[in-house]
Every structure is written in C-alpha cells, then in structure tokens.
Amino acid sequence: MRNLFSPGARQPNPDRRPLAQRTDDQAFKEVPYGLRVASEWGLRFIIVVVATGVLLWLMSFLTLLIIPLMAAALLATLLSPLHHRMRSWGVPNGLSVLITILAFLGFLAGSIAMVGQQLVTGFAEMWGQVVDGWNKIMIWLADGPLHVSSAQIENAISDFFEVIQSNSNTIISGAMSFGSTAGNFAAGSILALFALVFFLLDGKGIWRFLLNFTPRRDRQAIEGAGYAGWDSLGSYVRVQVFVAAVDAVGIGLGALLLGVPFALPLGVLVFLGSFIPIVGAVLTGAIAVLLALIANGWLNALIMLGVVLLVQQVESNILQPLVMGKAVQLHPLAVVLAVTGGTTLAGIVGAVFAVPLLALVNRMVQYLAKREWISDPRIQPATQIPSVRP
C-alpha cells in the first residue's frame, strides 16, 4: 500500500468547497467582529420595531374592542379578592360574581351622585364669588397699569363671539364628533361590563383555552408567566387604589379645612387623577390651588399649594418606594418613560394603561428568565393540560 505521507505522495485537498463559497467565507472573516455583531443586532431591532409598529397600527382600528377588554382586566384584578372571599364562604360562583359587580356599580353610582349634588350646591353658592371676582378683574384692568377701557373690553368680547360664529361649522362638527365619542364610550362600557362578568366567572378557563394556541413544549412556562403577570397586575391596581385614596383624603381634607369650595368633588377628582402616574397628581393639584385662589385669595392658595406638595412628597418618597416598589418592582424612571410613551401613542388612554402593561410584561419576563414554572405549584405537567377546542 502506498504511503500517503511519503514525500512523493499526493496530499488530499483539505478544502474541497466551491471557490465562490470560499470567497464568501473569506469576505465574511474580513468584516470586523464588532461590525458583524452590530449589524445582527440592528437587523433584529429593525424587525422588532417594524413588527411593533404594524401591531400598533392594526390595534388602532380595534380600540373599541381592546380598551374595554383592558379596562375589564384591571377591574377584574381589583374585584377578584372580594369574589374569591365570597367563594370561600360557600357562595355559588355566579351569585358571587353578581354581588361583586352590583356592589362595585352601587359604589360608583353613589359616588357620582354625591359628587354631582356637591357640585350643584357649590356652584349655586359660589356664583356670587365668581361675579365679584369678575368685577375685580374688570376694575383692575381699568385702573391698573394696563388702563384698559370698558369700550376695549366690549370690543374684545364682541370679537370673541364673532370668532365663534365664523367657526360655527367646526364647532358643530366637533359636537357631532363628541356625540360619536359618547356613543363609543357607552358601547365600550357595556362591552367592558360584559367582559368583566366572564373574567370573574371563568378567567382561568379563558386563559387555559388561550394556551391551546401555544406550543405544547412551552405551555407550562407560558401558563406560569401568565399567572405571575396577572398577580403583578392585581398588586399594581390594588396598591394604586390605596395610593390614590391617600392622595384624595390628604388633599380633600386640606381643602375642607382651608375652606376651599368643592372639597369633596376635588377629593374624587384627585382619586381618579392619581391613576395617571405623575401627570394626574400635578394636574389635580393645580386645580386645587386654582380653586383656592379664586375663592379665598393668594394666601389661601399658597397654603393649599403647600398641602398639595406635602401630600405628593409623602406619596413619592414613602408610598411609592415602600408600597408600589415592592408590589411591581418598577424603577421611577421606567414609570416616567412609560407614561410619556403611552401619552404620545394613545393620549390619556395610553397614560392610564402604560404602567399596568409595563408591570405585567416586567413580571412575565422575570418569571421566564428565572424558570420559576419548574417549582410553581399552580402549573400542571404539559401532558395534563386539557385540549379545549372552540
């Protein structure tokens, strides 16, 4: 047998690949490693951004469906402890859901009725102060440094009404648009209430049905991540209700002690505004100071401003780090960026839902990264998950 390693032996070709392929490999190796990594990341980032943009564009046509479902999910996480408590007392599932929703609607209707009564009474009592304030402004304009005559004021008022008349078509179209929005709000409220019933009645069954559209080998992880995200969402909503109640009681009680009108409606407004992180507290606090200024003067307004700042400092330095931080584990910068991005994309609706969605996604990612489904007692083996077909 011929020795292949002898000097005269023919050596085998170590690379029998085509020349074009070897040329491509050589060109690939000549690209710097950092540039290759950056291009791979850049390509995937572009794909993710484009996919997210397309998804948001498609969702913009389904706002009447998506927003009520998101609102129903938040309400379900808020009301589920009461529902589960009644279930532990032996109340049937359907009756427990009915009692829970009726109690919530009764509380909501009672609050609106009480606030409406306070507003009607307050406006009737405050009308004289409004007239006096207007007269003082007119006197200051005439006798102050501006020296505005009554004729100039009348001309300005007449010009204002002329502008309104010349833009009557725009105003009418805006009113029609508002009517359409009110109709959509009513339809969305009915849909949210309908979805809330089924979220409380059989929320776990709905989630288990959705799991059938996921790969079987990943079903345990996805199921556990969904439960963990739902728990985090519930913690956020309940803690946010507590923080909003503290803000409302603090500012409303301060307004009541200072004699600021509409103290009770102002407290309710602060409570609702607190569900928009950071922005809501600033706007409702500004309204409280403005009411104090109109009704009681500069000194009262400054004291009211101090009360608002004190309550907000207690919220930001004590309640948010100790209560909210432990509940959802979100950095304040992440909250600010989420609110800003949500407001930019979807206005006030985006500002309300941005932080809950961030808390949901953050907890699900943490659950998957730590592989917590391995020791989660709520997770069944993949072979035991029933296959539910529509």
Q: Are residues 326 and 265 in the same domain?
A: yes
Residue 46, in any domain of the structure? no
Least confident piece of the model among 39-43, 149-153, 254-258, 337-341: 149-153
Q: Is the pTM of this model over 0.75?
A: no
Helices in the chain by DSSP H: which ranges?
A: 19-30, 33-59, 63-88, 93-143, 150-166, 168-210, 219-258, 263-273, 279-296, 298-314, 325-328, 332-369
Gap between the Cα atoms of 257 and 34, Å rounded: 65
Give the Cα-Cα-Cα angle 252, 256, 262 (nearest 5 degrees): 75
Gap between the Cα atoms of 364 and 224, Å rounded: 8
SS (H, E, C) 198-215: HHHHHHHHHHHHHHHHCC
Q: Are residues 361 and 228 in the same domain?
A: yes
Q: Are residues 248 and 278 in the same domain?
A: yes
Give the Cα-Cα-Cα angle 352, 336, 280 (nearest 5 degrees): 45
Residue 26, in any domain of the structure? no
Residue 259, in any domain of the structure? yes
Q: Are residues 331 and 193 in the same domain?
A: no
The pLDDT, as a whole number, for residue 246 is 87
Mean pLDDT of 130-134: 63
Residue 3, in any domain of the structure? no
- Please provide the average confidence, as pLDDT, over all residues in the chain: 77
Mean pLDDT of 235-245: 85
pLDDT at 140 over 80: no
Gap between the Cα atoms of 70 and 78, Å rounded: 13
Q: Are residues 193 and 248 in the same domain?
A: no
Residue 76: domain span: 62-117+149-200
Number of domains in the chain: 2
Q: Are residues 96 and 222 in the same domain?
A: no
Whether 345 and 330 have beta carbons less than 8 Å apart is answered as no
The proportion of the chain whose per-residue pLDDT surpasses 90, expressed as a percent, equals 12
Q: Are residues 180 and 235 in the same domain?
A: no
